[in-house]
Amino acid sequence: MASAPTPVLRMQGIVKRFAGVRALDGVDFDVRAGEVHALIGENGAGKSTLMNVLAGRFPDYEGRIHLFGQEARLASPRQALALGVGVIYQELSVLPNLTVAENILLGHEPPGRVPGTLDRRTLVRQAQDVLDALGFRLPVGEPVGRLSHARQCLVEIAHAIRKNVRLLVFDEPTASLAGDDVERLFAVIRDLRARGIGIAYISHRLAELPQIADRVTVLRDGKAVGTRDIADVKVAELSHMMLGRRLTEMFPEKRNQPAEPILRVEGLSRPGVFEDISFTLRRGEILGIAGLVGSGRTEIARAIFGADRAAGRCALEGRPLARRSPRRCTARGIGMIQENRTLDGNVTGLSVERNIGIGVLDRLTAFGGVLPPRRVRRNAQRMIERMDVRPRDPARPIQTLSGGNQQKAILGRWLCRDPKVLILDEPTQGIDVGTKAQIYRLIMDLASDGRGIILISSEFFELVNLADRILVVRDGRLVGEMPGPGTEVDAVFAACVRKGA
């Protein structure tokens, strides 16, 4: 029987403390040449801390690290990079005002004949050689700031490969990507794997792991609780390993009672994105929408809310929603919490009370266009209590709250308007386990009050435990429907996977 390839990385007994608290507690982790080894866990589990140790950002760690067969003591990012370790963070480090070529050769620019100048012809040629070798089609003379996030990621990869990186870390690479960009990134990662580069891949999206990973290691509370071959593990088992408890313990008892139809969607289409989407949402129903990243589920939700234009018809309580826009839909009683709460939800720099009050400025404003501070404060305090937003300080800047408490504040904003239908796109993304359980109870409360809920989630265990029905979207088409209660997580995943994939 053939032995496993020698790891390009072996981390043994890694310990990292912050103010005396063990963020990593004796973690073992390895990556082989030509494999993608996923690292998963809840927020605070230690994933990014472990990778920052590998990147040389935390030199005061305990334990041993072997890179490419040699023991190394990583004391700085410069040293880690010199040894062949590259990290692609979720927040990219490209310089937007510089061109693609300048970013790729940053720090290794060919000098010109005149001291202090660059040989731009050589710069462009060398950058193009790197792009050609990787198969990336990028405009070498274009400022990186004009490129999409996905293409900026390719620039950062090219920069890393230019420095002879043999081990590449991806930290939540698909968190801010959608649609074809995810597929392009996966194709690039598969190509890098085929070139023999070892890849450590941090992700919170369990559904994407079978598409890209070879093995997966689960961290919980700073400890590695297990490593599995991705072909031999089910999504439900990974969820259990991450949480350390049975999934059913996190979810409230189902007590909502779906009634008459409240929202009808007929023939919703957006060329090249999704096509002929039709369904009915009932009053008091939690309707789940399942699909892999890039399937079109978010785009469908945005089209219903009027954030994106699309052909087709929508009707609320039997009345057509003509010329849909977020303003018109909000006025009619439809609310939407979008996937990226930082970009599309919060107004950074404003207080919690102002963020909550934004949704009902028309109701809070007094005669003459005056916005009474006391009225804004009372409105916020009411929702802070109802949503259990902590700390309970209306004047606190919204960005200083945890992700879960920011999300509860956004929910409170919409509840100020008493919506009839609420669309929730990844409502628990980046939220700790305890706050997730609170969000689940809030969703059940809203449905029990008779509101129609559309729930989109990459965590399929949320859908099977909360939804009454689950619609399956694949490649921009509605390909199936299944009940929520009693459905296995892996059955949902199987329905979402493209045939032949």
Architecture of domain 7-246: 3-Layer(aba) Sandwich (3.40)
Query: What confidence score (pLDDT) does residue 1 get?
Result: 47
Distance between CA atoms of 90 and 153, rounded to whole angstroms? 9
Strands 274-282 and 261-270: antiparallel
CB 218 within 8 A of CB 238: yes
Q: Of 474, 477, 470, which is closest to residue 498 (Cα–Cα)?
A: 474
Query: What confidence score (pLDDT) does residue 153 get?
Result: 86
CA 28 to chain CA mean position, Å: 26
Cα 123 to Cα 128, 136, 262: the distances in Å are: 9, 17, 60
Q: Could you give the count of Cα atoms lying within 13 Å of 188 in the half-sphere of its Cβ?
A: 26
Query: What confidence score (pLDDT) does residue 180 get?
Result: 67
Matching CATH topology for 7-246 and 247-333+419-501? yes
Query: What confidence score (pLDDT) does residue 500 get?
Result: 46
The partner residues of 99 in beta bridges, in order of sequence, read 143
CB atoms within 10 A of CB 371: 12
Among all chains, which residue has been given the structure tokens 């409230």? 252
CB atoms within 10 A of CB 397: 15
**In the chain, where the domains are located:** 7-246, 247-333+419-501, 346-417
Distance between CA atoms of 86 and 156, rounded to whole angstroms? 10
Distance between CA atoms of 446 and 467, rounded to whole angstroms? 13
Distance between CA atoms of 419 and 442, rounded to whole angstroms? 14
Query: What confidence score (pLDDT) does residue 343 get?
Result: 57
Query: What confidence score (pLDDT) does residue 344 get?
Result: 58
Q: Would you give the end-to-end CA distance of the chain in angstroms?
A: 29
Per-residue pLDDT in tens (0 to 9) along the chain, 501 residues: 455 667 899 999 999 998 888 899 999 999 999 999 999 987 778 898 999 999 999 999 999 999 999 999 999 999 999 999 999 887 788 999 999 999 999 988 898 888 888 899 999 999 999 998 888 889 999 999 998 877 888 898 888 888 888 999 998 887 666 656 777 788 889 999 998 999 999 987 787 888 899 999 999 889 999 999 999 998 778 878 887 766 667 889 999 999 999 999 999 999 989 999 999 999 999 999 999 877 899 999 999 999 999 999 999 999 999 999 999 999 999 999 988 666 556 777 889 999 998 878 778 777 777 778 888 899 999 999 988 898 889 999 988 887 788 889 999 999 999 999 999 999 988 777 678 888 999 999 999 999 999 999 988 889 999 999 999 999 999 999 999 988 988 899 889 886 544
Assigned fold of 247-333+419-501: Rossmann fold (3.40.50)
